[in-house]
Chains A and B, each alone.
Chain A
Amino acid sequence: MADVTATDVAAPLAPPKLSGAIAFAARRAEGLVIPLAALIAGMAAFSLFLLALGKSPTQFFELMWRGGFGSWFSLQNALLRATPLLFAALCVALPARLGLTVIGGEGAIVLGGVAAAAFGHWLSGLPAPMVILAMGLAAMAAGGLWIGAVGALRHYRAVNETISSLLMAYIAIALMNQLVEGPLRDPASLNKPSTHPLAEAYRIGPIPGMDVHWGLVVGILACVACWVLIDKTRWGFAARVAGGNVRAAQIQGLSVGPLIVGFCALAGAFAGLAGMFEVAAVQGTANASLAIGYGYTGILVAFLARQNPLGCIPVAFLLGGIAAAGGLIQRRMGLPDATILVLQGMLFITVLMSETLYGRFKIFNPDRWKRAA
């Protein structure tokens, strides 16, 4: 699924005239109208599901709005839940540019969290900015090594990256448990084995005026940076070429190996940062709660965003909001928590099906207007 529309849009003909502006808008509109229509279709299908069970769709979506988006509290709730998903999605979207399907971001998140917690403890006493920076770098290094290894195995040993990343996610979680309950355990952590808690000074606080920590800002910046990397730099161009056809890329003199390892390592580094923020801004320590599936939800976000880093931002926000409203729906409507999974599944399916609609509507394609005229 090469992202044809995005590249087309990136190099528009300069629109000097009004008709040019309309053509420009029409091209842009396709990428907005189709996903939105797909979301609406998914919600309609889900409404039928609810009606069949004798539940009220209006009440459901009213609660979804109230719990996920409709107030300052709910909005922040959604943003907070979206934060780790931004990083986790990048761990899928970056390798996807090279045609790789990495599904083991969970492992990099977990190890990033452990590395951050360990460094935060070892460097205790140093100035806070230095320690926080070191924690971030340690987390990125741990995650980067983990997914970088997946890329290296892929290129130099031809080990399928989908399996190896999944296997390595399980191994990473085992490693985390062994470390957290063994050498890195804080003896005072009693009934929930954890690493030594970070000193208050090394915690990452909320954005002023908000309940959401700084991870959100870093996550959005990371998405923007990845978009620039892919769409505006020669590395990104090289990655897209290699993703299309490795041999063609080699003929053009691109060194595909370092490119693959580099992109994978960067992807892992971002996932590692998710773990670091989980430790430094949420838990204050590393423990088994690092592995609660952000990595897997990230796959969903990346695919829904069609592997476009900028697209990951609204999609993560949407999924964050749905998750935020889940509790309210469970409590008010007596629906099981799995209702949210059903809804996500339906939305995801309709959005994926809508992929087939791109390029089919004349209205979004100004070139075909002329031909018709």
Chain B
Amino acid sequence: MTDLTISRRSLLKTTAAGAALGLAGVPAFSTRARAAATTVGFIYVGPKDDFGYNQAHAEGAKALKAMEGIELVEEENVPETVDVQKTMESMINLDGASLLFPTSFGYYDPHVLAMAKKFPDAQFRHCGGLWDKSKHPMNAGSYFGYIAMGQYLNGVVAGHMSKSKKIGFVAAKPIPQVLNNVNAFLLGARAVDPTITCQVIFTGEWSLAVKEAEAVNALVDQGADVITCHVDGPKVVVQTAANRGAFVCGYHASQAPLAPEKYLTGAEWNWATVYSMYAKHALAGEPLPNFTRGGLSDGFVKMSPLGPAVTEPARKQFEATLAEIKKGGYAVIKGPLKDNKGKEIAGAGKAFPETAIELESTSFLVEGVLGSTS
């Protein structure tokens, strides 16, 4: 077995050398690029064009294509098990990747951590994980954006546009990232009118088209007239809600083209900012930051342009709140505040700004959200 490998390897080398000789006269664009290039690998858990989570990352990756000295390799539909470990390994071993972005949360523990230990020379930056200096390898790291602020702004617009004073949220699973978004959406609406309630329906899966559509129908049947969501691909939610005559706020990427009349605004990722930052560091040979977080003011998150249905008072409050958030230190979760079981979350005067690390382990729904976390 070993003999075979070695002979194959030397054979490949010879072939490569021959090819290089043969190409000597040709303008060696590929050889030059290869020699100096940093190969960056992107791994997606679903299809790259899902109008949502994966598309947002793929659009960010596209920004690197234009950069001199960067070579991009991408793989989609990679499950969160040995598959992703082997994909990372294969990208390092066979493609020569030195910087990897495994973009799904479930990739982090144990898969990214295991590969980071195995390949100390490669750099791993993961979306959404909580990198911890005391526990995790130094060549790993994590980045994320304060997108709940975007859902808060969605809520502000929703609060103005809702006539029934009921808004709805289609959520995948009761995890901190989702709960923060639900809470922010309601609190944004309550900043307009404190009597508004938000019904949440958990579908239990990240991508389940028919169930998402059923959830929207159930919400609208119960009177919700502005809908948003946190699932991997919001396309179905946006289309179904618009068909039922409800307004929609987008998530992950812009879904405005799917429902131009009913789309109010949306909380979008702007991963190009993050990926270009890492790539520039890598090209300059500088160390990459291990723990990166940013929000609307950092360009990690952006809002879709307001839709044609948005009223003037809604626009004014939206813009004022956005300006306020961009100043920094804005707190959505601030006392006095109770959860929807009546337990106090924050006493008077206590506030959790977007940067508060506690928010990355949220386990409650705030008062006014109709739904349960388990």
| A residues at B contact (CB < 8 Å) | 66-67, 70-73, 75, 77, 80-81, 177, 181-182, 185, 187, 190-193, 278, 282-284, 287, 289, 292, 323-324, 327-328, 330-331, 337
Chain B residues with CB below 8 A from A278, complex form:
81
Check if B14 is an interface residue, CB within 8 A of chain A.
Answer: no
By the criterion CB–CB under 8 Å, are B82 and A81 in contact?
A: yes
Q: Do B204 and A327 have beta carbons less than 8 Å apart?
A: no
Q: Which residues of B contact A81 (CB under 8 A)?
A: 82-83, 86
Residue of A nearest to B72 (CB): A331
Rounded to whole Å, the gap between the CB of B44 and the closest CB of chain A is 10
CA distance A335 to B73 in the complex (A): 13
Residue ranges of B at the interface with A (Cβ–Cβ < 8 Å): 1-2, 5, 8-9, 73-83, 86-87, 89-91, 93-95, 105-106, 109-110, 128, 130, 173-177, 204, 360-361, 363, 374
Q: Are A73 and B89 closer than 8 Å at their CB atoms? A: yes
Contacts A67-B94, A327-B90, A330-B76 given; does A190 touch B360 at CB 8 Å: yes
- Chain B residues near A328 (CB, 8 Å)? 90, 94
Is there contact, CB below 8 Å, between A283 and B81?
yes
C-alpha gap A66/B109 in the complex (Å): 28
Whether the pair A327, B78 counts as a contact (CB closer than 8 A) is yes
Shortest CB–CB separation between residue A86 and chain B, in angstroms? 14
Say whether B105 contacts A331, CB under 8 Å. Answer: no
For B79, the closest partner residue in chain A by CB is A292
Number of A-B pairs, beta carbon distance below 8 Å? 82
- Complex CA gap A289/B374 in Å reads 19
**In the complex, A324 Cα to B83 Cα: how many Å?**
8
- 25 pairs, CB–CB < 8 Å, chain A vs chain B: A67-B94, A71-B8, A73-B89, A81-B82, A81-B83, A177-B204, A181-B173, A181-B174, A190-B176, A191-B105, A191-B175, A192-B105, A192-B109, A278-B81, A283-B81, A284-B110, A289-B79, A292-B80, A327-B86, A328-B94, A330-B75, A331-B74, A331-B75, A331-B95, A337-B76
Q: List the B side residues contacting A192 at CB < 8 Å.
A: 80, 105-106, 109, 175
A35 to chain B, nearest CB (A): 24
A282 touching B363 in the complex, CB below 8 Å, given contacts A71-B8, A191-B128 = no
Q: Which of B87, B106, B109, B128 contacts A327 (CB 8 A)?
A: B87
* CB-based contact B106/A289 at 8 Å: yes
Q: Which chain B positions have C-beta within 8 A of A80? A: 82, 86
Q: Is the CB of B177 within 8 A of A191?
A: yes
How far, in Å, is A248 (CB) from chain B's closest CB? 44
- Besides A193-B175, A330-B76, 19 more A-B contacts (Cβ < 8 Å) are A67-B94, A70-B8, A71-B8, A75-B1, A81-B82, A177-B204, A181-B173, A181-B174, A181-B374, A191-B128, A191-B177, A278-B81, A282-B81, A282-B82, A287-B106, A289-B80, A292-B79, A328-B90, A337-B75
Q: Give the shortest distance, in Å, between A62 (CB) and chain B (any CB).
A: 11
A190 with B361: CB separation less than 8 A: yes
Chain A neighbourhood of B360, CB < 8 A: 190
Contact between B86 and A77 (Cβ–Cβ < 8 Å)? yes
Q: Nearest B residue to A188 by beta-carbon distance?
A: B361
Chain A nearest Cβ from B244, distance in angstroms: 27
Shortest Cβ gap from A299 to chain B (Å): 18
On chain A, the residues within 8 Å of B76 by CB distance are 330, 337
Contacting pair A190 B175 (CB below 8 A): yes
CA distance A66 to B374 in the complex (A): 46
